[in-house]
Structure 1
Amino acid sequence: MVIGAGVGGLTAAVRLARAGHRVTVFEQAGSVGGKLGRYSRRTPEGLFRFDTGPGLLTLPQVFTDVDLDPQPVDPIVRHVFPDGTRLDSCADPDEFAARVRTALSPAAARDWQRLWRRAARVWDTSWRHVLTATVDSPLALYRLAWRIRDLAAVAPGRSLRSLSRGYLADPRLRMMLDRYATYAGADPRRAPAALVAIPYAELAFGGWYLRGGLGTLADALATRCLELGVDVHTGRRVARIDRAGNRASGVTLAGGRTVPAEVVIANADARTVYRDLLPHPRRLSRLGAASLAGFVLLLGVRGRTPGLAHHTVFFPADPDAEFDAVFGGRLAGDPTVLVTVADDPAVRPAGYESWFVLVNAAPQGPVDWRAAGVADGYADRILAVLAERGVDVRDRIVFREIRTPADLEAGTLSPGGSIYGTAAHRLLRPANRGPLAGLYLVGGSTHPGGGLPLVTLSAGNVADRIGPAR
């Protein structure tokens, strides 16, 4: 049985059904996909479609359960720095080094290539020892000690910021590297240096887009579930994980119906599992601080906007002030802004653009996103920030839709709307194996972490551990 029809839950269901298991999925929302959300709006101008969650597909080789047609994105990201410099990332290491040389300096390119060699070692170590295996305790990391070179590459105890300053003299490259910590919901000043594997994966294997939006991945997984005979029930909330002694025995749905199962897989935030579904004070206390959340604007924009790539990041003059605000539970007045505009006729009317605008934000709680005027006021501020950075679309907006951390909390039952559960300020995420026999956790709040490929790996690792039906 699977609780939650996010990408992790659906992937686990597919893998186990293929292994001969009879699988049932219960999803509290009215549709599948979890944080891989979608929004559509029909206007007199036509239909606008948006991904409201992930907007970039990486490591396409891990999505083996469905037939996808990923389209490469080049540049993967256009970085616009406070001084106006632009740097376009790509999946060819030599070409990217050349772009760094042209946009920044030959010295910056040499620094980046040195860091790249270090990142390759971290990636190789992470892939072999961490990402492709279930990890149940910190003791598992001591396998790395068998190869001192691997342990030195991962550098336990060193932060991503420290690694950045040790390799990169140009503050713009350091600014770019810092951004990858937020991909794991973490502050780069506290995030482990091992997160340098994130930019390596993106820039070594490329960034990809699915026509019609990344939400089509959820559709493909749901279709595969149906083909394999998986029972997927939407609009059915699980209230409790049941136990018989030290073993998970099934679930109780909201309303009181009990459903027995030999194995339970929770594709839910680990905090929700250990606070609500299977109260476990000790595991709950070990989860650490919540990850950052996101504040999103969905904009229908008239006309076409020059200078934007598929993904464009606009950096602030003082990134540390942004981190201080977001991780201190406040609104950032001058944040990093990500703008995603897909050149895909399937997501916007001719002559218009569908904009996804994202800024890092504190979760619901430290900031009361439901308070009158907070969300609208911050939306106005973000549009003003974009205007200050040279992209003013305020007179071309057909409509705007706001998504706050409080909305994500309500829609996905993620506490506070934290995107990644707990912030990745430690090398290990919460374990995939639960405190009961036959209970497993998958998804972005657990090992090996957030993001579509890692969520998919978590599901595959758990399915492999459960094994084929007897």
Structure 2
Amino acid sequence: MAGVVVVGAGMGGLAAAARLAALGHRVTVVEQGDTHGGKLGTLRRDGYTFDTGPSLLTMPQVYRDLFAATGAPLDTVVDVVPVDPVCHYRFADGTEVDLPHAEEDVPAALAAAFGERSAAQWRRVMADAAHLWGLVGESVLQRPLGGLGDLVRRSANPRDLAAIAPWRTLRALGRARFDDPRLRVLLDRYATYSGSDPRRIPAVLSVVPYVEQHFGGWYVRGGLRVLGDALADRCRELGVRLRFNAPVTGIDATPTGVSGVRLGDGERIAADVVVSDVDAEVLYRDLLPARSARRPRRALRRAVPSLSGFVLLLALRGRTPGPRHHHRVLFPADYDAEFDAIFGRAPRPVPDPAVYVCSPDDPAVAPEGDEAWFVLVNAPRQGPVDWRAPGLADDYADRVLRVLAERGLDVRDRVRWREVRTPADWERDTGSVGGSIYGTSSNGPRAALLRPRNRGPVPGLFLVGGSAHPGGGLPLVALSAAIVAGLIGPA
């Protein structure tokens, strides 16, 4: 039985802890904050409940596999329900479209909004994405990668590597395959699922809309935080020790392996294995001895950090007229201006952003007759922009509400109260550098396909979570935990 310390109680860390405990290891999770879940946070106030992080679950089978491998099945502990439509989109010209939960219904919805030709073009791109998913879904996303050579070797033949085409961007794919600029905007949006710029992200990430449509979009009754609570409970059932308010200040390691972690109060916890669920940049910059972190530090310096997010939590009186939409996206007239503002040479709050709204039709999240809205716009990180500057957060919150009003969703006279979360808040609360939601972006083929490895540079050190392979998002961090558990093996 190995003594395992997991640093960080985000979803990747909890998933790794549960799997390793089920394999017979003695596991302790140490978390700098006062609760579990990482970016899967929650706010409860005056009868309103908000997910402050992810609001959609894709690939729920990943969590079904996790819970089945560690005890009672997922569906016995949480209520996972389909979101239909998955999202309501409004384009700058006023066109609206609902993307259905069922994959087979998507072409008809697109045909009604954009015409049969556009629907046929989308269908062909998704057929190609299905082929790409067959190439990367298991061989890349569900296995450890040791570098570019690994990726090339896993391409069964040169034709497969040509299909992945890491040199082609998602933007180039959209321009080549779609006549309608609105379809290109829709495809571009999926770059933001990894905190990236569609003009730089590889076209292989067209698998993201394919995965959403093929596996569907899902919600957990009561909010996705309920999934995090269930995973923390599973850890406790397996004997995992969860310690909160226990910041790690260093990992003891020599070239022969790790030996433990040091806490902020001077306590040392011995360990045969350390699993890091902190941002890879924080791990290699602050926690690991410099001699052990030299090569991964160099690699991270070449990567582009992911975008962050500016969030409004709105407690609204009354109901919004018209059909209920769990998710809405309202696009600007100039989507490129958003990516210029975030990834350009002079980062700044986006003047006219795309706005994402999550408003679950769930009686558990708001008083009867009212609504709880999570409103998100993409934003540059803390650092390039000082989100702590006096007045900036409130002024920008007012701007976002004005943008909503200009696009047909004026809720300003319905706001009972609001809370604002900036990239500076994400940095403080989650430890992510600058509040980057996904660690590094997928801007460029190396960043997209070769994130920091799950096996660390010294024996006994492993990485999970959104900044490590295979990437960010609820399903991928759980896959990273399965990879790490497989590398460590049974006790």
TM-score range, shorter-chain basis? over 0.9
Counterpart mapping for 1:114-133 below 5 A: 114-133=124-143
2:231 matches 1:216: no
Q: 1:443 aligns with which of 465, 473, 489?
A: 465
Whole-angstrom distance in 2 between the partners of 1:245 and 1:111: 53
Contact 2:32 2:247 in 1 (8 A): yes
Please state how far the C-alpha of 1:256 moved relative to its aligned partner: 1.3
Q: 2:142 & 2:42 partners in 1: Cα distance? A: 29
Which of 3, 8, 15 is the matching residue for 1:4?
8
Which deviations, in whole Å up to 9, do the C-alpha atoms of 1:288-318 show, x marking residues without a partner? 1211000000000111113451000000000
* Match of residue 284 from structure 1: 297
Residues 398-456 of structure 1: per-residue CA shift (max 9 Å, x gap): 00100000001000111100000111123221111111011011000111011000000
Partners of 1:65 and 1:106 in 2: CA distance: 41
Equivalent residue for 1:230? 240
Aligned 1:67-86 pairs, distance under 5 A? 67=74, 68-86=78-96
Q: Partner residue of 1:197?
A: 207
Match of residue 305, structure 1, among 295, 306, 320:
320
Aligned partners of 1:127 and 1:384: how far apart in 2? 41
2:41 is aligned to 37
Does structure 1 conserve the Cα–Cα contact (< 8 Å) formed by 2:465 and 2:477?
yes
Structure 1 residue 144, shift from structure 2 partner: 3.6
CA contact (8 A) 1:101 1:107 kept: yes
- Tell me what 2:25 maps to: 21
- Aligned equivalents of 1:74, 1:147: Cα separation in 2: 39
Query: In the alignment, is the contact (CA less than 8 A) between 2:82 and 2:101 conserved in 1?
Result: no
Aligned equivalents of 2:415 and 2:154: distance in 1? 52
Question: What residue number does 1:316 align with?
Answer: 332
Q: Which residue of 1 aligns with 2:393?
A: 375
3-state DSSP class of the match of 1:236? coil
Instruction: Provide Cα deviations, 1:37-86, integer angstroms capped at 9, x if missing partner.
Output: 111112xxxx1000000000000001033323210001101111111111
SS in structure 2 opposite 1:197? Answer: helix
Q: Distance in 2 between matches of 1:464 and 1:292?
A: 31
Which stretch shifts more, 442-451 or 304-313? 304-313
Deviation, 1:94, is 2.9
Q: What is the SS of the residue equivalent to 2:418? A: strand
Secondary structure of residue in 1 paired with 2:139: helix
The answer to whether 1:60 aligns with 2:60 is yes
The CA deviation at 1:147 is: 2.4
1:243 aligns with 2:243: no
Q: Is 2:352 the counterpart of 1:351?
A: no
**Which whole-Å CA distance do the structure 2 matches of 1:144 and 1:438 have between them?**
26
- Structure 1: how far apart are the matches of 2:97 and 2:83? 15
- Asked whether the equivalents of residues 275 and 281 of structure 1 are also in contact (C-alpha less than 8 Å), the reply is no
Is 1:65–1:221's contact at 8 Å kept on the other side of the alignment? no
**In the TM superposition, what is the alpha-carbon distance from 1:90 to its structure 2 partner?**
2.2
Asked if structure 1 preserves the Cα contact closer than 8 Å seen for 2:250 and 2:287, the reply is yes
Does structure 2 retain, via aligned residues, the 8 Å contact 1:442–1:455? yes
Kept after mapping to 2: 8 A contact 1:250/1:259: yes
Match of 1:258 among 247, 268, 273: 268
Whole-angstrom CA distance in 2 between matches of 1:87 and 1:428 = 35
Gaps of 5+ in 2: 68-73
Question: Which deviates further from its counterpart, 379-388 or 130-139?
Answer: 130-139
CA distance in 2, matches of 1:432, 1:87: 39
Match of 2:354 in 1: 336
Residue 153 of structure 1, CA deviation: 2.1
> What is the TM-score of this pair, normalised by structure 2?
0.93
Secondary structure in 2 matching 1:30: coil
Structure 1 CA distance for aligned equivalents of residues 321 and 99 of structure 2: 18
Residue identity opposite 2:485 in structure 1: A
Question: Which residue of 410, 415, 432 corresponds with 1:397?
Answer: 415
Q: Which moved more, 1:12-21 or 1:279-288?
A: 279-288
- Partners of 1:196 and 1:345 in 2: how far apart? 35
1:326 alignment partner in structure 2: 342
Distance 1:152 1:158 in 2: 10
Which residue of structure 1 aligns with residue 71 of structure 2?
Answer: none
RMSD (Å), alpha carbons: 1.1
In 2, the alpha carbon distance for the partners of 1:384 and 1:156 equals 39
Separation of aligned partners in 2, 1:80 and 1:200: 20
Corresponding residue for 2:483? 461
Whether the aligned pair in 2 keeps the contact of 1:121 and 1:150 (CA below 8 Å) is no
User: Separation in 2 of the partners of 1:250 and 1:138?
Assistant: 31
Kept after mapping to 2: 8 A contact 1:144/1:151: no
- What one-letter code is carried by the residue in structure 2 that aligns with 1:301? L
1:104 aligns with 2:98: no
* Aligned counterparts of 1:145 and 1:260: Cα–Cα separation in 2: 41
Supply the distance in 2 between the matched residues of 1:437 and 1:245 (Cα, whole angstroms): 8
Give CA-to-partner distance per residue, 1:229-286, whole Å, 9 cap, x none: 0111011111101114331111011121111111100001001101111142431231
Instruction: Say whether the 8 Å CA contact 1:379–1:402 is kept in structure 2.
Output: yes
Structure 1 gap segments, 5+ residues each: none
2:405 corresponds, among 377, 382, 387, to 387
1:335-376, Cα deviation, whole Å (9 max, x unpaired): 000000001111100011000000000000111000001100
More displaced 10-residue stretch of structure 1: 346-355 or 149-158: 149-158
C-alpha distance in 2, partners of 1:91/1:126? Answer: 23
Q: Percent identity over the alignment?
A: 56
- Give the CA deviation at 1:145: 3.6
SS, match of residue 108 in structure 2 = helix
Contact 1:275 1:284 in 2 (8 A): yes
Once residues 246 and 292 of structure 1 are traced to their aligned partners in structure 2, the CA distance between those partners, rounded to angstroms, is 36
1:127 deviates by 1.0
Query: TM-score when scaled to structure 1?
Result: 0.97
